[in-house]
Chains A and B, each alone.
Chain A
Amino acid sequence: GAVVSQHPSWVICKSGTSVKIECRSLDFQATTMFWYRQFPKQSLMLMATSNEGSKATYEQGVEKDKFLINHASLTLSTLTVTSAHPEDSSFYICSARDWVGTEQYFGPGTRLTVT
């Protein structure tokens, strides 16, 4: 299957600071990328969908000014958590799909802890 990488794999930051998470498709061009969040023992929650070169589409209840998504190229999307708070601590996972749009592959995830 296709390979999606994420960086960093884990990050600890202080409350009020911002954190940027990168998601890269390594062996295919990702026309669409998705960002999910998962709290312990809960299912995946889709935060937003981004198409290359377009503004991200956020799911209901997700603050677009807090979770900034940029999908500037066909292989890179970034999620920036601005003014992070302890309740933002979670497992953030990106996923990518090519233009054919059939299968969707996940990155390894980024564990964010806000102290």
Chain B
Amino acid sequence: QKEVEQNSGPLSVPEGAIASLNCTYSDRGSQSFFWYRQYSGKSPELIMSIYSNGDKEDGRFTAQLNKASQYVSLLIRDSQPSDSATYLCAVKRGGSTGTASKLTFGTGTRLQVTL
């Protein structure tokens, strides 16, 4: 079982729709959760971080975390063609040093927003 699992996609949604990206993780000790966006040929860009159960909203983005189910998701409202990218889920156990401080990435979900 992979430590962080994401559906590779592509996930295709029409412009203006809600895109829902999902991620599950295996380490129950994970405390910090992140969503990165990576355009083709570019480096990842941090778009959301979430640390406690529930929802966290930032503009068109909402991150949802359910630690009991070991599940984190990202909703993108009013999807735009410019949102087309690969979205990487990353988790961290916590702490600032040692193995626990490393991010563990999923392989990413490719999102395509169609006109």
A interface list, Cβ under 8 A from B: 1, 31-32, 34, 43-44, 46, 49, 51, 91, 93, 97, 99-109
- Of the candidates B49, B97, B101, the one whose C-beta lies within 8 Å of that of A103 is B49
Q: What are 5 A-B interface contacts by the 8 Å CB criterion?
A: A32-B101, A46-B102, A49-B101, A103-B34, A106-B43
* Given A46-B102, A103-B34, residue A31 in contact with residue B96 (CB < 8 A): yes
Q: What distance in Å separates the Cβ of A70 from its nearest Cβ neighbour in chain B?
A: 19
Docked-complex contact B44 and A102, CB < 8 angstroms: no
Task: Count residues on chain B whose CB falls below 8 Å from chain A CBs.
Answer: 22
When distances are taken between beta carbons in the complex, the residues of chain A under 8 Å from B105 are: 43-44
Cα distance, A106 to B106, chains bound together (Å)? 16
Docked-complex contact B46 and A101, CB < 8 angstroms: no
Those 10 A-B pairs whose CB atoms lie nearest each other, nearest first: A101-B96, A109-B43, A106-B43, A43-B107, A93-B43, A106-B44, A108-B43, A44-B105, A103-B49, A1-B46
B interface list, Cβ under 8 A from A: 32, 34, 36, 41-46, 49, 51, 88, 95-97, 101-103, 105-108
* Given A100-B96, A101-B95, A103-B34, residue A44 in contact with residue B102 (CB < 8 A): no
Residue of A nearest to B104 (CB): A46
Cα distance, A99 to B42, chains bound together (Å)? 26
Docked-complex contact B44 and A49, CB < 8 angstroms: no
* Given A32-B96, A44-B44, A108-B42, residue A102 in contact with residue B107 (CB < 8 A): no
